[in-house]
Chain A
Amino acid sequence: MALVDIRNVTKSYGSTQVLKGVSLDIKEGEIVTIIGKSGSGKSTLLRCINALERIDGGEITVEGQPVRTDMPNLRDFRQRVGIVFQAFNLFPHMTVERNITLAPVLNKRIAKADGRALALDVLERVGLADKIDAYPAQLSGGQQQRVAIARCLAMRPHLMLFDEVTSALDPELVGEVLKVMEDMARQGMTMVLVTHEMGFARNVASKIVFMHQGRVWEEGPPAELFANPRTPELQSFIASVR
């Protein structure tokens, strides 16, 4: 059974239909990269998977559970499905440790000492254990994004969503974030990424999904999709990002 099952999902903002019947399966351990032009519905689809947006039609299930913005166990669900944003969204008034342990301490009631150990554990995975007492304003963009990933990892999610996490970074900082994500992929984390990093999509993803005009236009393994794009839209997109 697929970890995420998306069936014929539609979503509009006012009179603009952004998703026009999207269907997609994501299996456990898969690294799915969603690519496409701006406005093709990639980020909206990601936000719908995390119940940040209400869908108008169709169905999304994660681990067999239908996803709705008014689902009764929404808070538990969100702890299982982590999302990392383009703008990091760290809490500026909290240290890195507090950013990471806030939710586990409040919701899972872990002790303060265990919280620090948890923070150190996830920070080591993103290579930032020495920044545990720093504030976000004292970190570079790349470091902030790695802390945002660590904060998600601390919730022990079953699925992680990445919404253009390198787009706001200076080019020299992109590599450090991609490396963390590659490590996570190797460790078997199920990941769905919206990205413009074609190198990452080509080398790390197990499946590429090309979205165009609110639909899944093409999908398949990266080697196949990049070598033999079937539609002129994907051909043109690949040519434009090369």
Chain B
Amino acid sequence: MQTLNFQQLWRYQDQLIDGTLHTLLLTLVAAAIGTAIGVAAAAAVRSGPRPVRWAIRGYVELIRNTPSLIQLFVVFFVLPGFGLRMGAFEAASIALGLYFGAYCTEIVRAGLDAIPGSQVEAGQCLGLTRWQVFRHIVLPPALRSVYPAFTSQFVLLLLGTSLASQISAEELFHTGGFIETRTYRSFEVYAVICGIYFALVMTFKLLFAAVGHLAFRWPVRR
């Protein structure tokens, strides 16, 4: 029986660190793109003109009901045919950003729907603009109510960045494949990769708990 040997992996620590940093960067860029899309699209779905609402619904349904790997391939292999040429990391950021944005749209929309219309009315009665009402009155409690769903989706995004290895974007899973082909230590390599993903997720969970505690401090009567 073959014995476990993690020692060979030690000399690839620079690649592992680099892969981890790329995974982090890919996650954060995609999350930033997706969050911006999600907030804007959720607001537009509620109060935008009908063609815009249809377009957003179409986007959400298309992304949520097709494999994310194919979406990644479309951005990386098909868009260059229309003149949109980009590197693997940029393509992965955009594809995963669009993927996260679709889920984020539905999450934020649920939060906005949970805010009573009377809150909007109270803001209007104080002479606030629609944007001021949305930004100051509707959005903060809406985000609080969907914060757990948002953070769960973020974790799925982080784990989903491993798909980017399929277009050779340099991230953690891709690094794992690279090390495996040189060491033939599949189990050890993927055990370490798994451990790093696990550590990243747990770190983000702690971070989100702290951010949630600081950002949503107001008491709620239940």
Do B127 and A79 touch (CB < 8 A)?
Answer: yes
CB of A50 within 8 Å of the partner chain: yes
Q: Which positions 171-222 of chain B face chain A at CB distance < 8 Å?
A: 216, 218-221
Q: State A156–B127 Cα separation when bound (angstroms).
A: 12
The interface-forming segment of A102-110, A197-205, A231-239 is A102-110
Cross-interface CB contact of A92 among B121, B128, B132, B218, cutoff 8 Å: B218
Whether A75 pairs with B128 at a CB distance below 8 angstroms is: yes
The number of residues on chain A lying at the interface, defined by a beta carbon within 8 Å of a beta carbon of chain B, is: 25
Q: A75-B128, A75-B129 are in contact. Are A89 and B118 (CB under 8 A)?
A: yes
On chain B, the number of residues with a Cβ less than 8 Å from chain A's Cβ atoms is: 22
Q: Which residues of chain A (131-159) have a CB below 8 Å from chain B?
A: 135, 137-138, 151, 155
Whether A93 lies near B125 (C-beta < 8 A) is: no
Q: Closest residue of chain A to B141, judged by CB?
A: A93
Q: Known interface pairs A91-B137, A92-B218, A93-B140. Does A103 touch B118 (Cβ–Cβ under 8 Å)?
A: no
A78 touches B136 (CB 8 A): no
CB-contacts of B121-171 with A (<8 A): 121-129, 132, 136-137, 140-141, 144
Additional 18 contacts, C-beta under 8 A, given A75-B127, A75-B129: A50-B125, A52-B121, A75-B128, A76-B127, A85-B122, A89-B118, A89-B119, A90-B122, A91-B122, A91-B123, A93-B140, A103-B127, A106-B136, A135-B218, A135-B219, A137-B218, A137-B220, A138-B219
- Chain A interface (Cβ within 8 Å of chain B)? 50, 52, 75-76, 78-79, 82-83, 85, 87, 89-94, 102-103, 106-107, 135, 137-138, 151, 155
